[in-house]
Amino acid sequence: MIYETDLRTRPDLRDPQAVEGNPDWLSRPEVRALLDADGHTDYELGEEERLFGLDDGEGLAAFGKVGPSGRPDWANIHLIGVLSRARGRGLGTRLHAHLLALAAEEHTHHAGGTGADNHAMRRIFEKNGRRPNVTQMYFRPS
């Protein structure tokens, strides 16, 4: 599922509890667990990308990044994930809105995607007012 957003038409608000991280976060056990679970064992933060997180009172519980996508005026957002202990409390939705707000400061558009079976991420997109506009289909030879 692909979601495209004109960042100029719908303002998102920064989350006052979001904290900016640094590349050292990528070696933290909780971040590594989310990256490994998502198949990103060799994940690196790009030069212009910024990492953000939300704390759930027990430590950092939701992580994501924002930066340029490589297409002029388009942002890249990667919501790395929410730790299992903190799921179902809106942290992913809040962090996604925060990352969209940051993206809008430097870019005019964002395109994001998720698998059709990733219902949690699809709910995050929808709660933040995004609607899918493309469904990609993959076919494997039998």
pLDDT in tens, 68-86: 998 999 999 987 789 989 9
Q: What is the pTM of this model?
A: 0.86
In a domain, 83, yes or no: yes
- Total number of domains constituting the chain: 1
**In this structure, is residue 142 part of a structural domain?**
no
Q: Examine residue 141 and state whether it is found in any structural domain, yes or no.
A: no
In this structure, is residue 24 part of a structural domain?
A: yes
Provide the domain limits for residue 24: 2-134
3-class SS letters over 98-119: HHHHHHHHHCCEEEEECCCCCH
Phi, psi of 115 (to 5 degrees): -70, 150
Q: What SS3 string covers 54-82?
A: EECCCCEEEEEEEEECCCCCEEEEEEEEE
Cα 48 to chain centroid distance, Å, stands at: 16
Q: What is the percent of the chain where pLDDT is above 90?
A: 44
Please give the pLDDT value at position 138.
60
C-alpha to C-alpha distance for 15 and 54, rounded to whole angstroms:
9
Give CA–CA dist 49/22, Å, rounded.
10
Position 74 in a domain = yes
Mean pLDDT of 116-141: 77
Q: Look at residue 100 and tell me if it is in a domain.
A: yes
Confidence of residue 105 (pLDDT cuts 50, 70, 90): very high
In a domain, 139, yes or no: no
pLDDT value for 129: 80
The pair phi, psi for residue 54, each rounded to 5°, is -125, 140
Say what the pLDDT of residue 123 is: 87
Instruction: Please tell me the distance from the alpha carbon of residue 52 to that of residue 75, in angstroms, as a whole number.
Output: 15
3-state secondary structure of 131: coil
CATH at 80: 3.40.630.30
pLDDT > 70: percent of the chain:
95
* Cβ atoms of 44 and 73 closer than 8 Å: no
In a domain, 42, yes or no: yes
User: Residue 137's pLDDT is what?
Assistant: 58
